[in-house]
Amino acid sequence: MIIHNARLRGRDGLYRITLSGDQIAAIDAQTASATPAADDLDAAGNLVVPPFVEPHIHLDATLTAGEPAWNMSGTLFEGIERWAERKALVTHEDTKTRARKTIDMLVDHGIQHVRTHVDVTDPTLAALKAMLEVREETRHLIDLQIVAFPQEGIESYANGRALMEQAIELGADVVGGIPHFENTRDQGVSSIKFLMDLAERTGCLVDVHCDETDDPQSRFLEVLAEEARVRGMGARVTASHTTAMGSYDNAYCSKLFRLLKMSGISFISCPTESIHLQGRFDTYPKRRGLTRVAEIDRAGMNVCFGQDSIVDPWYPLGNGNILRILEAGLHICHMLGYEDLKRSLDLITDNSARALNLGERYGLEVGRPANLLILSAPDDYEMVRSQGHALVSVRHGKVLMRRTPAQIERA
Ligand code: FE2
């Protein structure tokens, strides 16, 4: 298969991309004489990019909002309470059915790489066992990383440490954590040491729900970053949310940034989720409740956007479209300056791939997997401005999804 008239990010002119089997075989300047074959694709001068990445979602909780009750306060903590009620009703098939439906929604929007957190604070690890099956059954659609996520804590949940170890033994790819939710500051710190030990011993990646609160005293990010720095594990470690950073004073944050840069860890922000859940204890002025995305990016550190939830106890909306999250995030994070807009797709492609450690399994380069998207616009700015879409998703050299743009008839 050949993709004709492809525009590539950061390069002038048009290109033809030749796929052979499940690899990219060649990327050449487009010549006018090319005659497209029947199974070739025409990008028509629009962007061709590697697949979108969903770096932070909870597939075990999606499509459960209102079951059995809605989150009326809109807070993170009521979300955890509502989820504890729904969790009691979770079955193996229920988890698999909802996850598969959600994966289809992600695929429809050009996503082929997903990192899902799965709640392992459950003595039966039912959701994890279901998601391990889903990971195998959906390999033709997505590459799925599973995080062993201790929703109700590692130290403050019965047998929390053993459940984490068991989850990794069963096949979870990433070690998670939630230090700000542990009962005490000491437990938060010891949970991070425990989870970093576990990751170091097993070679797993790390992705911690870290300081997901407006409390400016929630300072577990410094603990995570220092553990990553001392152990030389920064490239494998991600801090998700870090929303308390939006409430840290600048003097502390300035010191913190020095450590964060030395640590080499990545950051994931979920802007729609955080703008909804945080700021809930404020009247006015009301905080945005997000981490310092623009500042992290400008300091040369790696940051990307995720959806977090689709129709669950924490967030009632969502349709799988990561471009919606990008547009909202650029607004919320004060990133509508042209310099940010013209490279904005980094936040849902290359930066996310780096956080997920995809390495040579990702990117438009000869020899890499034949996974790519044809978008509906010629550059990053126009994709965001026009609320564009992924029109074609190619995976393993074959078309996985094709979207027909809406037609408008003027009178
Ligand atoms: Fe999350």
Same domain for 250 and 398?
A: no
Percent of the chain with pLDDT over 70: 100
Establish if 323 belongs to a structural domain.
Answer: yes
What is the arithmetic mean of pLDDT over 63-83?
A: 91
Tell me, what CATH number does 122's domain have?
3.20.20.140
Same domain for 198 and 147?
A: yes
Same domain for 132 and 263?
A: yes
Same domain for 28 and 60?
A: no
Ligand 1 center from residue 208 Cα (angstroms): 9
Same domain for 42 and 116?
A: no
Helix, strand or coil, per DSSP, at residue 133: helix
Same domain for 265 and 379?
A: no
Establish if 305 belongs to a structural domain.
Answer: yes
Model confidence at 36, in pLDDT bands (50, 70, 90)? confident
Is residue 212 annotated as part of the catalytic site, yes or no? Answer: yes
Q: Which of 162, 215, 161 is nearest to 192 (CA)?
A: 161
pLDDT of residue 117 exceeding 80, the answer is yes
Q: What is the pLDDT of residues 223-249, one digit of tens each?
A: 999 999 999 999 999 999 999 999 999
Ligand 1 center from residue 35 Cα (angstroms): 48
Helix, strand or coil, per DSSP, at residue 114: strand
Ligand 1 center from residue 301 Cα (angstroms): 21
Amino acid, single-letter form, for residue 390: A
Same domain for 120 and 40?
A: no
pLDDT of residue 33 exceeding 70, the answer is no
What is the arithmetic mean of pLDDT over 82-87?
A: 90
Residue 315 carries which DSSP code? B
User: In which domain, by residue range, is 101 found?
Assistant: 52-361
Ligand 1 center from residue 363 Cα (angstroms): 26
Half-sphere exposure at residue 281, Cβ-oriented, CA atoms within 13 angstroms: 9
Residue 311 carries which DSSP code? S
Ligand 1 center from residue 388 Cα (angstroms): 26
The catalytic position among 54, 152, 212, 327 is 212
Model confidence at 291, in pLDDT bands (50, 70, 90)? very high
Same domain for 348 and 381?
A: no
**What is the enclosing helix (H) or strand (E) of 331?**
helix 322-332
Establish if 407 belongs to a structural domain.
Answer: no
